[in-house]
Structure 1
Amino acid sequence: MAGVVLAYHPEPDIVQNVNALLAQADEVFVVDNSPGETSRQILRPMASDARVTILEQPGNVGVAAGFNAGIRAALDNAADFVWIFDQDSTVTDGMLDKLLAAHAAAGKTAGIVAPALRSHATGVVYRRETGKGAGEVDVVISSGSLFSKQLLETIGLHDEPLFIDYVDHDISLRARAKGFRNYKVFDALLDHRFGDSDPVRLFGRRVYLANYSPMRQFHMARNRLIVLRRYGLGRWFWEDFWFTSKAWVKVLLLETDRPAKIRAAARGLWAGVRFDVRS
């Protein structure tokens, strides 16, 4: 079983995250999407461990291509399962065993198996991430997700032209379209951070701002429409609509650089209309 961690201008705590992953995985491939001396200095302490392989990319190749580089390396090294992570996610004790157990229980139709998400900022499990056992879901986020070799050989890897955002939606819905069933394992928790997670007050309540850049707003708007065109309306869309609506309330009322983010999202929508979804 191999882990994959995608690194982009990593902070020093990535070393602790990888060490926590190594306590459960046989080996870890760290994909460096921001090669250079700064990243090398941060990642170098891990390179002395024979179980860690640093895969430097030619630059920021994106989330989809970055994950794919790690997945290919893991499969080439005879991994039966690949467990992928963003650099700002941290595994919790016993997480892999719970994911593998859920995968085994699901049988031959097991698709992507993922943990429930706990806020890195508050330590609280998100409301929509609570439950018991494993539940079937349409989509899961990439970070913390477990893929079997059989699944990847059937559905393919992440769609690299999407670059970033909704990459996880696309591969999740592709798995479902191929007859697989995706699962969220509620007693397997992943500590995860969305964007900056800056705390502010809104209508008397504490909320957390992602502060995504205009570039991210472009890709989110573009790829949301691409995924909608590919797979149509479904439970995934209405769940995403609720999440996106709340995010844009915070963008419009509280975040900085609002005009640039609005323009970027508009450009993204137009790009999503023009995108060839058959590619």
Structure 2
Amino acid sequence: MATETRQILAIILNWNDYENTKRCIQSVHNIDSVDTLLVDNNSTNSSSQRIEREFPDISAIHREENGGFAKGMNTGIRYAKKENYEYVWLLNNDVVVTDCNPQQIVEKMRENGAGAASPVVTTPNGSGWFVKGVIDKKRARAIDVVDEVDTNSVVENDYVPFAAALIDVEVFNQVGLLPEKYFLYYEDVEFCSEMTESGFTIITVPRQTVQHVGGQTTNGPILTYYLARNRLLFARDYLGVTGAVMYIDYLNWFFRVFTSAVFSRSPSRVNALIRGTVDGMNKKHNKGPYPDET
């Protein structure tokens, strides 16, 4: 007997964040052709248990460690492959699906032969957060473009952030799973680079919109540490870029962040910036000192 193919599995990670995760699940819960999988990254509170009681029809997997974004998502991707889903929808738990029909995104993916797609992502006040993704490989920078983009047709990208990315499961069969060495941030940049090198197209579908509310990791030392460290890891480990152009650009970024942290009187961000840079130069992978789970 042939195994039934299901269309879309929304994978949502949770780590101690009941409010955002609940709001995200509510926004996708009643969308046709979308099933929801909650992956708990070893929360230390009862957030996942509360969500499962409130949404008894969703599936859930509880991990025994907080291995970061990619490890959590890879747990869901393996589940999607096992259960014969055609597409996975990687959703940050701090995203709210507002004016977005994932079936229409899938149709655009099929029309354009795309392996991955993102809706337009906005902030809560409606301003642009993501429309087009560009990778500057000389500087090892991922750039989110929101202005001067023609959104009357699909937008081709070097990468899309995995805040609300729909990916054809066949991509994982050919490219492999998400790179787990980063723990948080830049796994989307590397994976999309691998996709395009394997011949896949990555698009943004206009007039499909989600809202990025912002959660626990969007500000402060966690963001600062992993952006500082992982940009260096991406440059040196994946791109093999070690030239002056990259380091000069990195130092300019370093001093902008340093100055901002000093003027905002945030010694924790200053410390995270320095530690992230040192750990990136020393090629330290996986989980760093953040978040502190002791």
- Aligned to 2:190, what secondary structure does the other structure show? helix
Q: Tell me the residue number matched to 2:79.
A: 73
| Cα distance per residue 1:172-196 (max 9 Å; x no partner) | 1111121212111222111003456
Unmatched segments (≥5 aa) in structure 1: 198-209
Other-structure match for 1:188: 208
RMSD: 2.9
Residues 1:216 and 2:227 aligned together: no
8 A Cα contact 1:173 1:231, kept in partner = no
Structure with the largest fraction of helix: 1
Distance 1:247 1:189 in 2: 31
Contact 1:4–1:85 (8 Å) recurs in 2: yes
Q: Give 1:123 deviation, angstroms.
A: 2.4
Equivalent residue letter for 2:158: D
CA contact (8 A) 2:100 2:210 kept: no
Distance (Å, rounded) in 1 between the aligned partners of 2:264 and 2:91:
27
Residue aligned with 1:72, SS: helix
Deviations 1:67-114, CA, capped at 9 Å, x for gaps: 11111111111101000111110112443023112211212xx23211
CA contact (8 A) 1:35 1:58 kept: no
Task: Give the match's secondary structure for 1:80.
Answer: strand
Whole-angstrom distance in 2 between the partners of 1:247 and 1:4: 35
Return the alpha-carbon distance in structure 1 between the equivalents of residues 27 and 169 of structure 2.
Answer: 23
| SS of the residue 1:162 aligns to | coil
- Aligned mates of 1:231, 1:141 — CA distance in 2: 18
Determine which of 7, 13, 17 is the counterpart of 2:24. Answer: 17
Q: Contact 2:13 / 2:72 at 8 angstroms: preserved in 1?
A: yes
Choose the corresponding residue for 1:100, options 102, 106, 114. Answer: 106
Q: What count of residue pairs does the alignment treat as equivalent?
A: 252
Return the TM-score normalized by structure 2.
0.75
2:193 matched to 1:173? yes
TM-score by length of 1: 0.79
Aligned partner of 1:89 among 76, 90, 95: 95
Q: How does 1:245-260 map to 2 (within 5 A)?
A: 248=257, 251-252=260-261, 255-258=264-267, 260=268
Deviation (angstroms), 1:152: 1.1
Among 155, 175, 188, the residue aligned to 1:135: 155
Unmatched segments (≥5 aa) in structure 2: 1-7, 132-144, 286-294
Higher relative contact order (CA 8 A, sep 6+): 2
